[in-house]
Amino acid sequence: NAGVTQTPKFQVLKTGQSMTLQCAQDMNHNSMYWYRQDPGMGLRLIYYSASEGTTDKGEVPNGYNVSRLNKREFSLRLESAAPSQTSVYFCASSDGWGQGWGEQYFGPGTRLTVT
């Protein structure tokens, strides 16, 4: 049981390049999330998916797109990277209603630098 996995762990991009951050969970959770963490800002929600086939914007969605590929996988795409997107990105999942409501399980993060 790996929990939430993210690839890659580290990435350096040049301004204007594109990339996709991958996330998968093996806990059969309905909900999945993408956050970014910046110094002094805490974690901010980029996008989330309450169930397979649905996605919704969070607090800071500009410059990002997401795909909920199936129940297990939720990817985050940067179409044209900007230095302001330099951050640590975390994927998370949760069970929603029922046991452990609100408790989100996080992946180890992807450290992205845009030069």
Q: Indicate the residue type of 93.
A: S
Between the CA of residue 70 and those of 30, 63, 101, what are the distances in Å? 10, 23, 21
Q: Which of 21, 24, 109, 114 binds other proteins (CB under 8 A)?
A: 109
CB of 108 vs other proteins, minimal distance in Å: 5
Q: How far is the CB of 16 from other proteins (least distance, A)?
A: 28
Burial class for 5, CB neighbours closer than 10 Å (0-12, 13-18, 19+): middle
107 lies in the binding site for other proteins (CB under 8 A): yes
How many angstroms separate the Cα of 31 from the Cα of each of 24, 38, 53?
A: 12, 23, 11
Select 82 or 97, whichever has its Cβ closest to other proteins.
Answer: 97
31 vs 87 by CB, closer to other proteins: 31
In the range 46-75, which residues lie near other proteins by CB under 8 A? 48, 50, 58-59
CA dist 94 and 114 (Å) reads 30
Alpha helices by DSSP H, listed for 42-95, are none
Least distance from C-beta 97 to other proteins, angstroms? 7
Residues at the interface with other proteins (CB under 8 A)? 4, 31, 33, 35, 40-45, 48, 50, 58-59, 90, 92, 94, 96-97, 100-109
